[in-house]
Structures are given as structure tokens and as C-alpha cells.
């Protein structure tokens, strides 16, 4: 329980700090792009893939036409779609491949990442920077690992980024609800019954 509590505190502290670093022009641009898109596609691998699916589920509840790349009924991307790619490191090959194809087609791309200069971020029309001790940080910088020191085992690899991304995207959903004037009843009516 002691380590559980310590890890909890670290995660919450990270969320507090992150929430203050959000840049309103990034967030507002992202929300406007979501509202303007004909269809939204989301992509992510591993735990980032799970977070982006949780976001997609809420977009569906809101009545937005949304698809998860890699699922059964996902159609071909078109130029008037909007792609949301989530990757802490900005290097994940699955997300990068998707973004490259989107770029070629002319689809607008939002990238949510800790690395605004990563390969993925360079393909973006919209970037949301979320702090996170990502896998790369820990791998690439010895100094960083010295500094984060005792964190190392408590929120391993992408944990901080992934949790921050889920909380951020759920907060974006709040904005969408207000801007679309949705009532919770309407969301619930679209919620899968099976």
C-alpha cells in the first residue's frame, strides 16, 4: 500500500503540473478541428492505443462519426477526415505510418505527444504537447534517469503520458459536450447496450 500511495501521489502531482502547462491555442485549435471534421479517425499503439479508443468511444456517444484505425469496419481515410494520433515518444511506427499515409492523402492530422519535434509531430497540423516521462526519456538520457531517480520503478515507461492523455482527452470531451449542446441523456442513448 505504501508504494501504491507514493505512486498515486506522483501521478496526481504530474497531472497537476501538466494541467497548468496546457496551451489554450493548441487546445482550442484541436477542439475546433474536431468539431469541423466530417469524420474523425484515431490511431495509437499499446497503451496509447487504449487511451485513444476511450476517446473514440466518447466521440461516438457525442454523435461524431469516428473510426479506430485497425478495427474491423474502419474504412479508407479521405482528405476531409481528421486523424488524431497519440504517441508519447512520437516515434511509434504504427502511428507514424498512419500519419504518413494521411499526409499523402491530404487529411489533417492532430498529434498528441511529449515530443513536439518527433517524427510524428513533424507531420502534424495540430500539436498538443503533454508532459510525460516517456520511454525514450528514460532510455536516451542518463542524466534524466539520474534526476527522475526513484520514480523509475513507480510510474514505468509511458505511464505518466498515458494517464495525462486520458484525463486531457476526457476534458476535451467536456468542451465538446458544451459546444455541441449535448445532454447526458443523448450520450447515454448512444451507449452500447450489449
Residues 49-88 that bind a copy of itself (CB under 8 A): 50-51, 53-54, 56-61, 66-77
Q: Which of residues 4-33 bind a copy of itself (CB under 8 A)?
A: 4-9, 11-12, 15-16, 19, 22, 24, 27-28, 31
Applying CB under 8 A, does 161 fall inside the site for a copy of itself? no
Can you name the residues that pair with 127 across neighbouring β-strands? 111
CB of 111 to a copy of itself, least distance (A): 15
Neighbours of 54 (CB within 10 A): 14
Applying CB under 8 A, does 159 fall inside the site for a copy of itself? yes
Neighbours of 38 (CB within 10 A): 11
Q: Which is nearer to a copy of itself, 50 or 147 (CB)?
A: 50
Angle at CA of residue 168, ends 167 and 169, nearest 5°: 95
Q: Which of 10, 162, 184, 186 is catalytic?
A: 162
- Residues 109 and 137: their CA atoms lie apart, in Å, by 24
Query: How many residues sit close enough to a copy of itself to count as binding (CB under 8 A)?
Result: 85
Q: Which of residues 115-154 bind a copy of itself (CB under 8 A)?
A: 135, 138-139, 152-154
Q: Is 10 known to be catalytic?
A: no
Exposed/middle/buried for residue 102 (C-beta within 10 Å: 0-12, 13-18, 19+): buried
Applying CB under 8 A, does 167 fall inside the site for a copy of itself? yes
- Residues with active-site annotation: 162
Amino acid at each position: 500500500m505504501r508504494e501504491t500511495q507514493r505512486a498515486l501521489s506522483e501521478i496526481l502531482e504530474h497531472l497537476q503540473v501538466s494541467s497548468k502547462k496546457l496551451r489554450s491555442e493548441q487546445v482550442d485549435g484541436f477542439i475546433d478541428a474536431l468539431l469541423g471534421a466530417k469524420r474523425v479517425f484515431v490511431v495509437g499503439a499499446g497503451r496509447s492505443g487504449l487511451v485513444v479508443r476511450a476517446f473514440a468511444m466518447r466521440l461516438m456517444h457525442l454523435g461524431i462519426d469516428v473510426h479506430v484505425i485497425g478495427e474491423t469496419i474502419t474504412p479508407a481515410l479521405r482528405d476531409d477526415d481528421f486523424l488524431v494520433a497519440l504517441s508519447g515518444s512520437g516515434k511509434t511506427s504504427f502511428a507514424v505510418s498512419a500519419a504518413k499515409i494521411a499526409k499523402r492523402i491530404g487529411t489533417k492530422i492532430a498529434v498528441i505527444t511529449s515530443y513536439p519535434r518527433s517524427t510524428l509531430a513533424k507531420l502534424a497540423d495540430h500539436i498538443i504537447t503533454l508532459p510525460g516521462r516517456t520511454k525514450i526519456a528514460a532510455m536516451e538520457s542518463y542524466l534524466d534517469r539520474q534526476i527522475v531517480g526513484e520514480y523509475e520503478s513507480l510510474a514505468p515507461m509511458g505511464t505518466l503520458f498515458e494517464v495525462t492523455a486520458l484525463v486531457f482527452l476526457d476534458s476535451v470531451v467536456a468542451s465538446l459536450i458544451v459546444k455541441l449542446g449535448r445532454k447526458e441523456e443523448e450520450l447515454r442513448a448512444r451507449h452500447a447496450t450489449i
